Amino acid sequence: MSPATAPNLALSPIVAGAWRMADWGWDAAKRLHWIEQCMELGVTSFDHADIYGGYRVEALFGEALALKPSLRQHMQLVSKCGIKLVSEARPAHRLKQYDTSAQHIAQSVDHSLRALHTDHLDLLLIHRPDALMDADEVAETFATLRQAGKVRAFGVSNFTPAQFELLNSRIALATNQVELHPLHLDVLHDGTLDQCQRLRLRPMIWSPLAGGTLLTGGDERARRVQAVLNSVAQRHGVSAATVAYAWLLRHPTRPHPLTGSHRLEAIREATAALQLRLDSATWTEIWQAGSGHEVA
């Protein structure tokens, strides 16, 4: 099976990550209000995975969406599959493992569609590289899901360039969702983002604030990055979080950063970065704080 041209990834510039929704303690009406407020800020894409919240988050989101189903046509839903957790919600799973078999992918998609109260996913990602992944089998499964109208585009998450190239040689992938922030620079230098740029794909970025460490500090390296972010923020009259997002957005791949907060102010700080373009010296200043050395 040869790959076709990768589809345009029609996501909002900032994507709302819903993975902690099960911890928010909100009723369906409050969850719906959060969804609506995100969309009012231009964040119309929502990132999920079947396993989030112990297999509960998609249903919590879907319950809220069912209160106002007309929103579905104005949003993009992303989900991931390929990890099996030992959980009461999946009693057949006997150990934590990766599974990219046709059966597991198809079953995961059907679970996600029911939970999210939707008839299709805009994007489906393989959550983690699976050493036993059969690229032909995955590609055929993706093609079947697309033909059935259940999934519109496909991608991967946390794949190395070689792993991405293997699956992309069988079916066109739309993105690679990877970790990137000034304390985790690997994908800038290991070929991951070079590959995205070569293929004209926009990566998705998870943990853009290093789980909050960029804002709260931590070890010496984290405090060094925090100080630079605060300095740049003061110069531009924005928050340090906005600078951290702007640092990501400055990359020529035009990445889609994921937020991870239920706070609307945090969403606003992320979207404010769309109006802040860092010059290359400022970008390098932040990179240098994270890497701990000057460019060679």
Are 56 and 112 within 8 A, CB to CB?
Answer: no
Name the DSSP letter for residue 258.
E
Confirm if 62 and 117 have CB atoms less than 8 A apart.
yes
245: left (phi over 0), alpha (psi -120 to 50) or beta: alpha
DSSP H/E element including 262: none
Identify the active-site residue in 52, 55, 98, 245. Answer: 52
Q: In terms of Cα–Cα distance, which of 135, 182, 180 is closest to 154?
A: 135
102 and 110 in contact (C-beta within 8 Å)? no
Beta strands in the chain (DSSP E): 15-17, 45-47, 76-81, 83-84, 97-98, 123-126, 154-157, 176-179, 204-206, 256-259
**Hey, what long-range contacts does 64-72 have (CB within 8 A, 24 or more apart)?**
64/28, 64/29, 64/31, 64/32, 64/34, 64/35, 65/32, 65/35, 65/116, 65/117, 65/118, 66/28, 66/117, 67/28, 67/29, 67/32, 68/32, 68/36, 69/117, 71/35, 71/36, 71/39, 72/117, 72/118
For this structure, is 98 an active site residue?
A: no
CB 127 within 8 A of CB 158: yes
- How far is CA 288 from each of CA 62, 184, 186, 207, rounded to the nearest angstrom? 42, 12, 14, 19
Q: Which residues are catalytic?
A: 52
